Chain A
Amino acid sequence: MWSEREARAARDDDADAMPNALPEALRGAVDALRAEVPPPAGWRADVLRAVAAEGPARRVDPRVRHAEARWRVRPLAAVAAALLCMAVGASATWWAMRGDTTHDVPRAATMAAASEASASPGLAVPASLGAGGRTVVRFALVAPGAARVTLVGDFNQWNPSATPLRAAGDGRTWVASVPLPPGRHVYAFVVDGGLTADPRAPRAGDEDFDAPSSVVLVGES
């Protein structure tokens, strides 16, 4: 590897050797271009006169400079930016929480996985006493292939968008905690658009519409 000094010396040698390699007709042009061009007479005086004609330098108020440096945002733009940030954050959260699930997992696979833990009854477990005499009940469903799980029942008017479950840390279980009044509540899960009873909870047994539902009994008040 060459040192910098060796490289510079080689460049100078090439530059000195080049005119001798040129045709005779070009040597004159090269010599003319290499010749030093004298500045026009009186150029220094012209420059000094021009600078003097500009007047004294404008003094800048430091507060003004600070104000100019501030980030100016219209209120509506700020609101729009906040909404955009929230949308991006929500999307990122959803993406992070969906874990290993995919949208095209066969339904049968999801249901088979959900039934894995059906030996023990009741995944709807009263967890704590909530406000207004309600007990917070924790619902959980094992559905590792699901993209979206929601809870429907007589407590949310069977609205499939009212009570979404969130994916737990294990990437298989979906959970939601819901405050419920005392009594017997009928419910089911909606897994990727399909209705399924809780595989760990007792069936309601009083069905009007064939599709099975589950029950949870809340006793505390």
Chain B
Amino acid sequence: MRPLVAVAVTAVVATAGAQPSPGPATTWPARLQPAAREALVALGDSARAARLPVEPLYAKAAEGALKGADDARIVAAVRKLAHELEAARAALGAGGSPDEVLAGATALRLGVDLDALRRLAAANAAANAARGASAAPLTVPLGVVSNLVTRGVPADVAMATVGRLVARGVSAAEYVALSDAVDRDILAGVSPQAAAIARGRSIARP
């Protein structure tokens, strides 16, 4: 091998490996004690058997380890998330994507009612059927619901606001615009509930 070729090959290989893009986590945190690890492995296996997304469970455990939580707290958080994923999947239907299921689980955690989540999924399916369009994902609408609730908008108001937009089939960009507009209104002194209702109506208006 000529020296210049060797240098070039080495440089290319080393540069390509300098910033690996992180793939999905498939392991539990290394620092866990055997008992906690066994519990998490069992939870992961159960989730996998139930065809739930397991990557969020790994991520939740990694988050707990990074934030210095003890083993018991990590296991409890992963178990709670697994239950939320299961409930969300039941509400959204078997056709829900992993991202949608995780978004639904987050909304449930923040106080959204399970029946309200079911109604939102049904409204989305009906709207898509009426337009003859393929199923629009609920990942972003549910993310907006979670954002609104964390800003202080009551969960039922947030779901009703987003539900009207789902029925109209607005774009993902409009959902983000709604969330940003409500943020600005709240910073300007408007009550979260009033901001969500007003901004939602202005976007839903034909």
Interface residues of A, Cβ cutoff 8 Å to B: 71, 73, 75, 77-79, 81-83, 86, 121, 152, 154-160, 162-163, 181-184, 190, 195, 202-206, 208-211, 215, 217-221
Contact = CB atoms under 8 A, between A and B. Distances in A.
A217 B99 CA distance: 13
A157 B24 contact: yes
A182 B58 contact: no
Contacts of B129: none
A107 B42 CA distance: 40
B147 A157 contact: no
B103 A183 contact: yes
Report whether over half of chain A's contact residues are helix, strand or loop; otherwise say mixed. loop
Contacts of B14: 82-83, 86
Contact of B56 (A154, A203, A217, A219): A154
Contact of A158 (B1, B62, B139, B187): B62
A184 B149 CA distance: 13
A182 B106 contact: no
B199 interface: no
B205 interface: no
14 contacts: A71-B3, A75-B2, A78-B7, A81-B7, A82-B7, A158-B59, A159-B22, A190-B66, A195-B66, A205-B110, A205-B146, A205-B150, A208-B63, A209-B67
A209 B69 contact: yes
Contact of B62 (A157, A183, A210): A157
Nearest to B146: A184
Contact of B150 (A79, A204, A210): A204
Interface of B: 1-4, 6-7, 10-11, 14, 20, 22, 24-25, 56, 58-60, 62-69, 73, 77, 80, 99, 102-103, 106, 109-110, 137, 139-140, 142-144, 146-147, 149-151, 171-173, 175-176, 179, 183, 187
Given A82-B11, A157-B62, A205-B110, A219 B73 contact: no
Contact of A86 (B11, B173, B175): B11
A206 B106 contact: yes
B67 A73 contact: no
A189 to B, nearest CB: 12
A217 B179 contact: yes
B173 A82 contact: no
A73 B3 contact: yes
